[in-house]
Amino acid sequence: MSENKLVLDFDQLKMLSGDDDEFMIEILEMIADQSPDIIEKMDNLYENADFQNLGATAHLYKSTVTILGNEPMNALLKDIENTARDDQDAQALLPLMESFRSNCNDILAQVKEQLAKLK
């Protein structure tokens, strides 16, 4: 997944906000502010082999990804969640976590680009 840049579809957010630019800006700013902390938290949980909490955190982050209209990232988070909770296998999680980190950088760049367009 890391070879291809993820593309966000902001239609879901537009529909949720009623096409209200101020509301979309508020949501996108929240995502831009919170995502680095979530990425760091997931990295730390992985490094500390706290797979139950890693799975729970991946589950929570899926709602953010759903708002951004990116099904491949949603599926990746579901894979992380299921592997962390069920298999608890650090080796199986490694490529998933690498894809997650790479894709988060793409997502954050696109969120910031969309914010610039809306402001």
Q: Name the token pair of 16.
A: 């949720």
| pTM, 2 dp | 0.85
Helix (H, G, I), strand (E, B) or coil at 55: helix
Q: Assign 101 to helix, strand or coil.
A: helix
Please write the tens of the pLDDT for every residue from 12-68.
889 988 989 999 999 999 999 999 999 999 999 999 999 999 999 999 999 888 888
pLDDT at 66: 86
CA distances from 83 to 31, 51, 103 (A): 25, 8, 18
